[in-house]
Each structure stands twice: as structure tokens, then as C-alpha cells.
Chain A
Amino acid sequence: MNSVILAADGVNVAQNVGFGIIAAVMIFAALAVVTTKNVVHAALWLAMVLAGMAAQYILAAAEFVAVSQVMVYIGAVMVLFLFGIMLTRAQIGSETGLNNKSWAVGIPVAVVLFGLLAYVVLDAVEDSTIAEVELTGANNEATLEIADRVLSPYLAPFFGMTFVLLAAAIGAIVLARKD
């Protein structure tokens, strides 16, 4: 069970410290998303979780995904959420009745699920360490490699995804328009 502790023997200490701080912020913000009584605050806490996620991607040397995360989630999805809140509920501020009557059922489900997932993860990876990430500013090999993969082996899924996005955009317009 050593893996649970963010021990730093022989591994990159700065990376571990950064990971720990960001992870703590993300967990706190995620708990706030599911417990706060204010819908708008929940959306803003969710923005914090997603920003922390982008920071974790940078720690994991996935800059391109991090930038996409910031643009798509924090830029577009959060605006969508705030519009959704605004259009469905004029009341801004804390309100009652956000939770189900039987909301407490979720606690044992989440705890058992986490126990299961943590057991499986620790069983699978044990104490293996990730090779030290080298963040080289100038060369963006990973991004070039992503471009190569998307435009050759993953070209068909990429086209499929464009159609999904098109269908989703048209579907959202058709669903939401007044007539």
C-alpha cells in the first residue's frame, strides 16, 4: 500500500508536490460540486476541477490535451452550463430541493466503488513508477505525433466524430428552438 502515500524516494519530487497540491484542490472542488446548495457555485467549482485537470495534463506532459481542455471545457462547456442554469432557473442563490430524498444512498455506492477501483488499480500497477517526464519547451514532439495519429490511423474515427458533433449541434438547435 505504499502507493497511496505520495512518497518521493527516487522519483521527481517537484512533480509529486505539484501533483499533490493540485489533486487536493481538485478533490475539494469536486466535493463542493456535488454538495453545494447553490447551482451557480457548483458550476464555478466544476470550472475549478476542470482547470486542475488541465494542470494535471501539463504535469503528465500532455500539453495539447491541456490546452484543448481549457478551450473546450472551461471556455465552451462552462458557458453552456451557466446558460443552462440561467434559462432553467431564474432563482440565483442557494435553494432547497437540489438533492433527492434518498440522496444518502449515493454515499455507500461511491465508497464501495472507490474501494473496488482503488483495489484494482493498486493490484494492477503496484509500485511501478512513471518514467520521469521531460518537459522540453521548444520541441513539441507529442503534438506533432498527435497530429500524425489523428490524420492517419485515426482518420475514420475523426471523421465519425465530426459527424457526431454536427449531428449534436443540429439536434441541440432542433430540440431547443421555439416554434
Chain B
Amino acid sequence: MLAANFLLLAALLFCIGVFGVIARRNAVMVLMSIELVLSSVNLNLIAFALMNDDVDGQVFALFVIAIAAAEVGVGLAMVLLIYRNRQSISLDELSELKG
């Protein structure tokens, strides 16, 4: 198995996720794209664990999974709050911080 396989797949998924973050306007869709990005990084960590024959990468991947779960929880709570206040989760309507 070539070492580059996993890394290239992870890079491709990462770029698809970045495209989703840029292209989407719905906040929930942006969160989904962020999940794509985070899990592609996990694939990288697993591949590194395999390449180095060491489980440190797997431990890191577990930490990333936990942090990603926390991030989704808080992110969706914020989206709910925004929806409740504005009846919309379109990200380009959120411009209060613009000077």
C-alpha cells in the first residue's frame, strides 16, 4: 500500500470541505463541511500512525473526534440561537460586526 494513497484522499476531502465552507450560505451546511475537513485530518493522523508503526496518531485522532463532537454541539446551539433571533440562518445576512 502506497503511503501517499491515504494522504492524497485526505487532501482531496479536505479541499472539498474547504469548497463547501466557501460556497455554502446555510450555516448548517457550513458546519457539515467543517466536519468533512476535520475527519479528513483524522484520516491523515491514522495514516501517520500506520507509517510510523506507532499508536500516537490514533490517540490524536481520538482527541480530534472528541473535540469535533464538542464543536458541533456548540456550533449547532449557536445556529439555533441565531435562527431564533433572526428567523434565518443565512450567513451573509449576519453583518452586525461589520464596521
Contacts and interface: CB of A to CB of B under 8 A. Distances in A.
**Do A and B make up one complex?**
yes
Given A60-B47, A88-B89, A172 B74 contact: yes
B2 A49 contact: no
B29 interface: yes
Interface size class of A (residues with CB under 8 A): 35 or more
A155 to B, nearest CB: 11
Given A3-B2, A100-B23, A133-B1, A121 B7 contact: yes
Contacts of A149: 55-56, 59
A84 B76 contact: yes
Contact of A171 (B11, B74, B92): B74
Chain B at the A interface: SS class: helix
Interface in B17-60: 17-29, 31-33, 35-36, 39, 42-43, 46-47, 49-51, 53, 55-56, 58-59
B34 to A, nearest CB: 11
A173 B84 CA distance: 15
Contacts of B50: 60-62, 130, 133
Contacts of A169: 70, 73
Given A81-B31, A122-B4, A129-B1, A175 B81 contact: yes
B4 to A, nearest CB: 4
B69 to A, nearest CB: 5
A83 B55 CA distance: 35
Given A49-B13, A125-B7, A161 B1 contact: no
Interface residues of B, number: 71
Contacts of A81: 28, 31-32, 72, 76
Given A64-B58, A161-B67, A167-B70, 13 more contacts: A33-B36, A50-B35, A60-B6, A62-B58, A72-B65, A72-B69, A76-B69, A77-B68, A84-B76, A106-B18, A114-B15, A128-B3, A168-B71
Interface of A: 3-4, 6-7, 11-12, 15-16, 19, 23, 26-27, 30-31, 33-34, 39, 42-43, 46, 49-50, 53, 56-57, 60-62, 64-65, 68-69, 72-73, 76-77, 80-81, 83-85, 87-89, 97-101, 103-107, 109-111, 113-114, 117-118, 121-122, 125-133, 142, 145-146, 149-150, 154, 157, 161, 164-165, 167-169, 171-173, 175-176, 178
Interface of B: 1-9, 11-29, 31-33, 35-36, 39, 42-43, 46-47, 49-51, 53, 55-56, 58-59, 61-63, 65-74, 76-81, 83-84, 89-92
